[in-house]
């Protein structure tokens, strides 16, 4: 793989561009320090032309949000025959669409909080639509990440405000029952859990500020659960990732209640790789440094069916998935 030209795709056009730039810089540095022929590829609306002018052998996706995490860039790379990290087109699209992901969770008996969705037209009759759903609730744009546009509501007035705010980022919003419990993130690599970390935000919930501002959350690894429940959380996370047909590295967000129930919130197909990101924390706590994680993700790159024969032959022996070893589960 070190003889290949690795392009770290970063930036993008979504609201998560700044996070993507940090993720990409960290990945670039880690691979460069390990001797890879790596270059940064800044993603904008002309990315197809950029890739044709500066061809690469493998794309390491450090993108977040729309057009980077939702299957769009994956589709372009499939057409161009460039192997890429992360999940495929369909899995990326499903995971990014919170409504469709929840429908898949329900189809595969993966527990997820009750919800309903609405668009701008539903705002006018919000009280009727909400009905007896109850409070508190969490309001989310249907297709966004990094908790952008996410709000919590405890009554109709705050619900109206939260829905209006979420509609600034998407034409559709998801209203989800707020589940009180421990916030857990499970790191998945090639279908197997690396471990589960518990997040204790110093705010009402794990919002954008709690995620990306240092000191706004505490982290506990392994998550403070009984050994049996810890294994169950990891198993549920693996099932959630599998039912969307994800590959490579994913992060699954789970709520573990005091009543010993677990609920999957969402699956992230291109988890953040910044200094405060959860997947690197999970890998580090399990004994694998950042460089190891980057190399493992790189080795699991997807080989497009339409790749040119020469590239296919070259990559055939280099894109075999290599994990970081068995997860360290509490005994």
CATH number, position 129: 3.30.1490.20
Question: Is 215 labeled as catalytic in the residue annotation?
Answer: no
Residue 258 lies in a domain: yes
Shared-domain flag, residues 171 and 140? yes
In a domain, 319, yes or no: no
Average pLDDT score, the chain = 88
146 counts as catalytic: yes
Exactly one of 36, 212, 230, 263 is catalytic; name it.
Answer: 212
212 catalytic? Reply is: yes
Asked whether the predicted pLDDT for residue 314 surpasses 80, the reply is no
253 shares a domain with 125: no
Given 57, 170, 253, 295, which residue is catalytic?
Answer: 253
In this structure, the answer to whether residues 107 and 119 fall within a common structural domain is no
Among 206-220, 247-261, 268-282, whose mean pLDDT is lowest? 206-220
**pLDDT category, 122, cuts 50, 70, 90?**
confident
Report the number of distinct structural domains present in the chain.
Answer: 2
12 is catalytic: no
* pLDDT tens digits along 56-93: 999 999 999 888 999 999 999 999 999 999 999 999 99
Q: Is residue 139 part of a domain?
A: yes
Catalytic residue among 78, 198, 207, 266: 266
Going by pLDDT thresholds of 50, 70 and 90, the confidence category of residue 212 is low
101 and 228 co-located in one domain: yes
* Catalytic hit among 142, 143, 251, 299: 251
- Domain enclosing residue 216, as ranges: 94-111+180-281
Q: What is the pLDDT of residue 66?
A: 87
16 is catalytic: yes
Same structural domain, 136 and 275:
no
Whether 236 and 216 have beta carbons less than 8 Å apart is answered as no
Catalytic residue among 20, 146, 217, 241: 146
pLDDT at position 217: 78
pLDDT of residue 65: 87
Task: Calculate mean pLDDT across residues 254-263.
Answer: 94
224 a catalytic residue: no
158, 123: one domain: yes
Claim to verify: residue 208 and residue 166 sit in the same structural domain: no
pLDDT at 275 over 80: no
Split at pLDDT 50, 70, 90, the class of 210 is low
**192 plus 271 within the same structural domain:** yes
Do 258 and 138 lie in one domain? The reply is no
Of the residues 7, 11, 14, 16, which is catalytic?
Answer: 16
**Residue 274 has what pLDDT?**
82
| pLDDT of res. 318 | 40
**Annotated catalytic, 238?**
no
Residue 328 has pLDDT above 90, yes or no: no
Q: Examine the residue annotation and report whether 266 is marked as an active-site residue of this protein.
A: yes
| Residue 189 within any structural domain of the chain | yes
């Amino acid at each position: 793989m070190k003889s290949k030209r690795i392009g770290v795709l970063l930036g993008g056009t979504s609201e998560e561009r700044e996070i993507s730039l940090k993720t990409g810089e960290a990945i670039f540095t880690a691979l460069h320090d390990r001797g890879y022929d790596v270059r940064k590829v800044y993603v904008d609306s002309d990315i197809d032309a950029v890739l044709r002018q500066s061809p690469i052998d493998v794309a390491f996706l450090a993108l977040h949000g729309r057009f980077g995490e939702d299957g769009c860039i994956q589709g372009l790379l499939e057409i161009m025959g460039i192997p890429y990290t992360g999940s495929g087109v369909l899995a990326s699209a499903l995971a990014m669409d919170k409504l469709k992901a929840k429908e898949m969770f329900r189809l595969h008996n993966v527990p997820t909080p009750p919800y309903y969705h609405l668009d701008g037209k539903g705002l006018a009759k919000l009280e009727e639509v909400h009905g007896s759903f109850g409070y508190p609730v969490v309001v989310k744009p249907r297709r966004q990440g990094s908790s952008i546009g996410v709000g919590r509501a405890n009554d109709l007035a705050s619900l109206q405000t939260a829905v209006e705010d979420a509609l600034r980022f998407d034409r559709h919003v998801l209203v989800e029952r707020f589940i009180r419990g421990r916030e857990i993130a499970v790191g998945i690599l090639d279908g197997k859990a690396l471990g589960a970390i518990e997040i204790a935000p110093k705010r009402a919930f794990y919002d954008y500020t709690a995620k990306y501002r240092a000191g706004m959350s505490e982290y506990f690894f392994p998550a403070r659960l009984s050994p049996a429940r810890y294994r169950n959380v990891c198993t549920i996370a693996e099932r959630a990732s599998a039912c969307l047909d994800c590959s490579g590295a994913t992060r699954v967000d789970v709520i573990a209640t005091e009543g010993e129930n677990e609920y999957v919130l969402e699956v992230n197909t291109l988890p953040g790789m910044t200094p405060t990101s959860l997947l690197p924390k999970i890998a580090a706590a399990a004994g694998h440094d950042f460089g190891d994680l980057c190399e493992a993700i790189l080795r699991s790159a997807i080989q497009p069916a339409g790749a040119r024969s020469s590239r296919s032959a070259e990559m055939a022996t280099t894109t075999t998935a290599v994990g970081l070893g068995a997860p360290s589960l509490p005994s």
